[in-house]
Structures are given as structure tokens and as C-alpha cells.
């Protein structure tokens, strides 16, 4: 892995902050016209994030698509493990270990304290990222 690749862990203690982080991060990359991929674990999560981005921010919405195949949209929500829109920025919402694709400059993830199970999975992912020699930051 390139030392320029990094993981940014957001420390989360409640669900509201988790949602705000997803929206803010997606909006940041959309405004910069940077491709951004949001990886989720299942159909329920896919629908939830889709609805979230259509409702927020309050002054509008974030244009995005749901896809399982290659596309050119700036924001893509997917269950696929592939980088469908050639994004350099990935938000891992799957709570599972991801393939460490070297094309991602930043992988966003949660250091999730909302439940013991989520906290344990966060620690496992943290260890995988560390073993891959990714630079890890916390916010």
C-alpha cells in the first residue's frame, strides 16, 4: 500500500452523529466533484442510506445512484466490493473487512461505540488497516 493511502476513523457514540458524518462526507466530495463510493452490507442498509441522501441536507439533496455495476456517477451506494465509479474515496459502512484497493486515497470508517458488537468489529477492521500499513487517523 502507498503510505499516502489512509483510513479516517470517525469516533461514534450515537446514531445521530453517524448520520451526520455520512452526509457531511458525501457532501464534501460531491461539492469537489470527486467520485465517492459508499459500501453497505445489505439491502436494508442500501435503502436506508439512499433515503438519507435524498432527504439530507435540509436545503436540498445529494444526487447519487445505487449500482452493482460500473457507472460514472459522483456518489454511488453499493453492496459490491468493486470500485464501480473509480472513486478515490470510500466510506465503508459494511462493518466487515473490505478489500484494500490501493486506488482509494481515503477510506472512511467508524470507530463505533453504539454497541459492543460494533465496537469489536471496528477494532478488527482497525487491526487489518494497521497490518496493511495504512496511515490511520481518528476524528
| Cβ-based burial of 16 (10 A; exposed 0-12, middle 13-18, buried ≥19) | exposed
pLDDT for the residue 3: 57
Question: Tens digit of pLDDT for each residue in 52-74?
Answer: 998 876 666 788 999 999 999 99
- Read off the pLDDT band of 30 (50, 70, 90): very high
- Report how far residue 4's alpha carbon sits from residue 17's, in angstroms, rounded to the nearest whole number: 27
- Report how far residue 95's alpha carbon sits from residue 126's, in angstroms, rounded to the nearest whole number: 11
At 36 the three-state DSSP class reads strand
What are the counts of helices (DSSP H) followed by strands (DSSP E) for the chain?
3, 7
Look up the pTM and report it: 0.91
Does residue 118 surpass a pLDDT of 70?
Answer: yes
- Report how far residue 64's alpha carbon sits from residue 74's, in angstroms, rounded to the nearest whole number: 7
pLDDT for the residue 56: 76
pLDDT for the residue 19: 93
Determine contact, residues 104/82, Cβ cutoff 8 Å.
Answer: no
Question: Tens digit of pLDDT for each residue in 63-107?
Answer: 899 999 999 999 999 999 899 999 999 999 987 766 677 789 999
- Report how far residue 81's alpha carbon sits from residue 68's, in angstroms, rounded to the nearest whole number: 9
Does residue 4 surpass a pLDDT of 60?
Answer: yes
Amino acid at each position: 500500500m502507498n503510505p499516502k493511502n489512509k483510513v479516517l476513523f470517525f469516533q461514534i457514540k450515537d446514531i445521530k452523529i453517524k448520520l451526520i458524518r455520512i452526509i457531511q462526507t458525501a457532501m464534501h466530495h460531491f461539492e469537489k466533484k470527486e467520485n465517492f463510493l459508499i459500501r453497505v452490507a445489505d439491502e436494508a442498509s442500501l435503502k436506508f442510506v439512499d433515503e438519507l441522501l435524498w432527504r439530507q441536507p435540509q436545503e436540498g439533496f445529494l444526487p447519487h445512484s445505487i449500482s452493482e455495476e460500473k457507472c460514472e456517477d459522483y456518489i454511488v451506494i453499493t453492496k459490491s466490493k468493486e470500485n464501480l465509479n473509480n472513486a478515490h474515496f470510500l466510506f465503508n459502512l459494511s462493518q466487515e473487512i473490505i478489500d484494500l484497493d490501493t486506488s482509494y486515497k481515503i477510506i472512511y470508517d467508524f470507530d463505533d461505540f453504539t454497541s459492543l458488537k460494533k465496537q469489536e468489529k471496528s477494532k478488527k477492521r482497525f487491526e487489518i488497516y494497521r497490518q496493511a500499513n495504512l496511515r490511520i487517523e481518528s476524528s
